[in-house]
Structure 1
Amino acid sequence: MKRIISTTLGLLLAGSALAAPELSPQGIIVNPVPTDLQVRVWVNKDPSKTGNPVYQIGERIQVSVQVNQDAHVYIFSVKSTGEIGLILPNAFDQNNFLRAGETRTFPPATGARYALEVAGPEGQDRVLAVASRQPLSLAQIADIQTGRVNLQGADNLARALSIVVTPLPQQDWVSNVAFFIVGRAAVTPVQPVQPATGTLSVNSSPAGAQVLVEGRVVGSTPLNLVLRPGRVDIELRLGGYQNFRTTAQIRPGETTAVNANLVPVVQNGLLQINSNPPGAQVLLNGRVVGNTPLNLTVPPGRYDLELRLGGYQSFRASLSVGSGQTVPVNATLQALRGALEVYTNVEARIFLDGREVGQTRGGFLRLDELEGGSVQVVALAPGYRAALRDVRVEAGRTQQVRLELPRAR
């Protein structure tokens, strides 16, 4: 479906000219030095540029351009009132790069998604084409999506374009102009004037979603667009949310509203589980899922985590994983300690690997928090000979050892 491109004049092409016919094409901007880069622009009623063709208000027009070398082409319309619009690039056709010898018409004769219409008032209008070997930045003077140029008058446009092209060598750009006359078509008073456009109002929750109409980016929500009547495809895009797609029927003189409640995109999270020492069994919500180190992709939610390793205390934690979130878990496992119960036939001093650790009372001594491994237990008492035994302490267990101290002779 074709769209009527709006310029600052509220038309597709409200005239495209720039200076009185006697001005040279180069003089429309800054009178650059001669260059071998050439651009030629013309309108469909005067391809040879020998006359001053007449277009009626509301009549459709086509603009053609040709370059003799590879170049980026920018086309402006300048009305007799001084109002300026950007024809190329536009919201529906942003490919403004032409190859050497290529001729291109805007809009193209077939497959065009927009149209150019001549708007009033009556007078001498112009089309200006600027060709540059390098792309120009028009961000400060024009809005490609709307075609609006925040300048009035050929002189102001000339000065603005002079600034834009100043960084370029003078041989790297050139301009050309075409003229036409805007007349007025006869209107039969009895025929009611039907609105030529309708309004599309697009809103989203949350706001700020990118809006695409017929596959072209046209702005962000909330957004009001003036469109030609007909059916249009609409898409809204916002990071973290599912794309929203719908169609709308634009009716003349009416406002069609599209209100989209965007649905968040649910992304799995990542659990990065490590332990010191490694090799611990991992249980998630009571189910064994592997051994450390371990990376687990899980849906958003809460999880009970447990790590188990022989000789070490179990590690437990409750975790909350958000959408797309990475949650690291670094667990230092605490070694289990063993215990030793020493029984003697007399009260005696007790040594472990040569280190005194206590004295039996009533023939009994309990030793806790002992590291696992082999240890030598020695009991000494006055008047008795020493008694000793090698014992292996096991983590998490209590070992018993009985020492009989014989009397000294």
Structure 2
Amino acid sequence: MKRALLAIAGGLIVSQALAAPQISPQRIIVNPVETALKVNVWVDKAPNDPNATPDYFPGENIKIYTRVNQDAYVYLFNVDPEGRVDMVLPNNYASGGNFLKANTTKVFPGENDGFEFEIAAPYGVNKVLALASKTQLDLNTLARFESQQSGFATVSANNQNQLAQKLSIIVKPIPQDTWITSTAFYNVARPGTTPAPVIETGSLSVSANVGGATIFVDGRQVGNSPATIANLTPGNHTVRVTANGYEDYSTTVTIRSNQRTALNVTLQREIRSGNLAVNTNVAADVYLNGKLYGRSDVTLRDLPEGTYALKLVANGYETYTSNVTVRAGQTTPVNVTLQAVRYSVRVTSNVNGALVFVNGKQAGTIQNGAAAFNLAPDNYEIVVIAPGYYVKSARVNLGSNSNIDFDLTRIQ
């Protein structure tokens, strides 16, 4: 096949329904609706610059590359500077199938096609249009294969405007978020002119400890790990690798001409964190999973999401224990009223009706040989008084449940 490829020019707005496909001088047919589906198209002399217009001279061969980020059918068209439209894909050659799997790159012509795309006049800037669709399109009104032996279809559009009009009609019945377009450019230069410099490229091989992690190079999604990204210009490139549940990884790599750079990425589990606000009626030591974190009132920040064993300890108060759950992006409040520790004190005596005083205040009366009451841990003086008996007292440093016996002696 010897002819100039891929030239489309001009601009047109095709009237359609709301948010209808639009036509621009650069992209020919444009979907105004934002889509998750993306398609890239480029030529071999400009692998990484979608705005480049590399020079090709008559007799040179050209290769066209395309890539989608989701499974899709890809249609490639070219129009030369004089308006002739050709459909490059699909075709009847070995690699002419136009269904592409996500994140795979296809080249035309393929190794088994048995032909080359050779550059020829007319001279001037050419465009390549790639139209990707999640569903197969009916192109019968635009292109037909004359026979099984015909390698390429005959296109009924005679210029860019006709191509734009017919493509707009073809995509109109399908959901608008299921198709997208992209364009590439190149120039058929006259012999004797100085060609634009051809930049030798290198490649980047990216592997990660998480299979299927998404890879971005210079902000552009290029595949999923493990993957090799070809045709990168020499120099520094930013690489970002992402995966659900893991922290993003970013770095800068240096690409060298005709060399493959290897990047092995270890993604770290994403730590989702929250806060825990602990408030108590008295100052208390705050323990989480047995580790002392501080004294209340306190807000513990940036705790990894999860459930913790909380313990609050204050001198003279009952120890408080509970399970608390920390949720990412939230502050979990814990408000606790600690209960003072109280010990059981049992005073026995041989005299029923004897009065029992604690630190000077009456606390009980001996009935059936005993009086019982609760006291907080502290130092106490306990006194037992009964008429006709000598007064007896005892000092107690109360730190546990206690039994105290008073054997009163009669006054003679």
The reply to whether TM is greater than 0.5 is no
TM-score (norm 2): 0.42
TM-score (norm 1): 0.42
